[in-house]
Amino acid sequence: MGRSRKTLEDYIRPIASISLHFGRTPLELDAEEVQEYLYGLQRRSKTPSQTYFKHTVFGLRFLLKSEGLPYDYLLLPEIKKERKLPVVLSKAEVWRMLCSLKLLKHRMLIGLLYGCGLRCFEARNVRIRDLDFDRMVLHVIQGKNRKDRYVPLSKYLIRGLRKYIDSEQPGEWLFNGQPGGRGGGDFDSRYSQRGVQWVVKQAARHAGVSKDVHVHTLRHTFATHLLEDGLDILTVKELLGHERIETTMVYLHVARSNPQRAFSPLDTLFEQWGRVQK
């Protein structure tokens, strides 16, 4: 379907709520009933939240599309996407995060997320056999939209991964989780999503990073730093596994690239007049 399991769950819950509210499926309702229901959601200040309102509309859209019906069948409102720029870390902040972690396993996890620009589930799905140290690449298998891609491995990351694999002997998955522990679950030997999130949060906290850091922040930072280091945007698009170049172009708004790097007029003010005051 091209959508993640979590996205589908976000869509199904509000559809189930509408069905329970009216005692009928949304396809059995008329447009006015749906409009009244959505209006009621928007008026509630706390729960369901505005996010829930959006999921309700998106869920109804998905249902209509699945049945081959147009969106205006239920007169669904248009929801404009918020254009927010991603949070990006500086190289100094990434370095502090790497240095703040005591466990080699955690350092390798942060190194892989940042150094290869991986999504959370892609990092969890890395197998030992996906690492090609000779060619210095990682084979990302079945990423988003079920696309495979190759991303380069840093020689420094390879050195750390070799040491980690030799000492930990992780088995099939590069990052194993302990059953019942923070990193794993009872039915899955991979590191859990919650475990990956915890490691990133801990690294940011111990490194004194005040920004709102999530797992995906390292992917944003990967793309931005590559552009700042001079890599062309088409190559960055391929490394990220993006379908559309427009998705990648958002990083042009946050990357600071030479030779025409933007600067503050305070810099030239102090350079010119600060010496005079001295």
Q: Give the residue numbers marked as catalytic.
A: 119, 144, 216, 219, 242, 251
Contact in structure between 59 and 14 (CB atoms under 8 Å): yes
Spatial distance between the Cα atoms of 169 and 206, rounded to a whole number of angstroms: 27
Give me 150's structure tokens.
């190759």
For CA atoms 63, 65, 66, 68, the dihedral sign is positive
Q: Which of 151, 135, 120 is nearest to 241 (CA)?
A: 151
Phi then psi for 211, rounded to 5 degrees? Answer: -70, 160
DSSP class of residue 135? T
CA distance 129 to 141: 11
> What is the C-alpha end-to-end distance of the chain, expressed in Å?
66
What amino acid occupies position 262?
A
Distance in angstroms (rounded) separating the CA atoms of residues 96 and 124:
23
Q: Give the Cα separation of 128 and 166 in Å (integer).
A: 12
Residue indicated by tokens 């309702």: 29
Q: Report the distance separating Cα 101 and Cα 114, nearest Å.
A: 15
- Tell me the backbone φ, ψ of residue 99, rounded to 5 degrees: -75, -20
Distance, CA of 212 to CA of 87 (rounded, Å): 7
